[in-house]
């Protein structure tokens, strides 16, 4: 017997946290009975489990690296009919979903999978997998501005964690700068809000790295499967940052 949210995540329905939302909103049935209790358990081998009336099954695990274009929603569907990331994955038979999200106006590296445990490992707040962005801004931020960003910026939802910030490119002719930022949190629109806080709003934003993964020349709108080594490196990176955080918070 296993908890329902774990079963749904392992079946590729959604991440564990999203599966919990499905349960509490009454979208999950076990043997014809709607279940809303997050503590409920089931036997995936013998019980009939449905989400929105559709029986779940065990799918082969899929891990994809996708170069999301600007103007695409990081979701599997959009009520407004806008283009979503899965529109680019017509050849993928399994039901994959994004690990985290990139804003509509942000492009770059996005991971998609049907492995809920893996997705949870990369997005849970206790794991701090680094994400690197290139943010294009008008003008040239002074070094003191970069130091503020590195130390942490006070936003409406609290102080950001220290970040790694540096100049990536300065274009005097266009009067614009590309700033490289590596952050260790997954707050909503975090990089954009950080740059707005120092009076250098972002005109273009691209995520170029997630943990050890790089875009590596992958064209916009294209995807490729992750290698076994890349999956291991991502998992190791998440576990290592968790150990480091635990050691800092609980020194011997």
DSSP state letter for 87: G
How far apart, in whole angstroms, are the C-alpha atoms of residue 14 and residue 214? 25
Catalytic, 103? Answer yes
Residue 244's alpha-carbon distances to 45, 165, 186, in angstroms, are: 38, 21, 18
Q: Which of 47, 78, 103, 105 is catalytic?
A: 103
Structure tokens at 33: 């009975």
What is the residue whose two structure tokens read 């036997």?
43
Residue 59: how many other CB atoms lie within 10 Å: 16
Angle subtended at Cα 145 by Cα 144 and Cα 146, rounded to the nearest 5 degrees: 90
* Closest to 240 (Cα-Cα) out of 121, 133, 131: 121
Give catalytic residues, as residue numbers: 103
């Amino acid at each position: 017997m296993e908890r329902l949210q774990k079963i749904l995540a392992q079946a590729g329905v959604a991440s564990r946290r999203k599966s919990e939302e499905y349960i509490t909103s009454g979208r999950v049935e076990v043997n014809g009975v709607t279940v809303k209790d997050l503590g409920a358990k089931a036997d995936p081998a013998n019980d009939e489990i449905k989400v929105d009336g559709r029986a779940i099954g065990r799918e082969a695990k899929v891990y994809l690296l996708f170069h999301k274009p600007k103007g695409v929603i990081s979701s599997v569907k959009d009520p407004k009919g806008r283009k979503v990331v899965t529109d680019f994955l017509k050849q993928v038979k399994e039901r994959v979903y994004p690990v985290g999200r990139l804003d509509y106006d942000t492009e770059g590296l996005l991971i998609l999978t049907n492995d809920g445990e893996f997705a949870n490992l990369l997005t849970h707040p206790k794991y701090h997998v680094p994400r690197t962005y290139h943010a294009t801004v008008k003008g040239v931020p002074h070094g003191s501005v970069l130091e503020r960003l590195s130390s942490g910026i006070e936003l409406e939802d609290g102080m950001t964690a220290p970040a790694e910030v540096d100049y990536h490119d300065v274009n005097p002719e266009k009067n614009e700068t590309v700033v490289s930022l590596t952050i260790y949190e997954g707050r909503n629109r975090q990089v954009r809000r950080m740059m707005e806080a120092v009076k250098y709003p972002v005109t273009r934003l691209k995520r170029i790295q997630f943990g050890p993964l790089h875009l590596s020349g992958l064209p916009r709108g294209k995807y490729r499967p992750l290698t076994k080594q890349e999956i291991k490196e991502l998992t190791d990176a998440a576990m290592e940052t968790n150990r480091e955080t635990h050691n800092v918070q609980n020194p011997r």
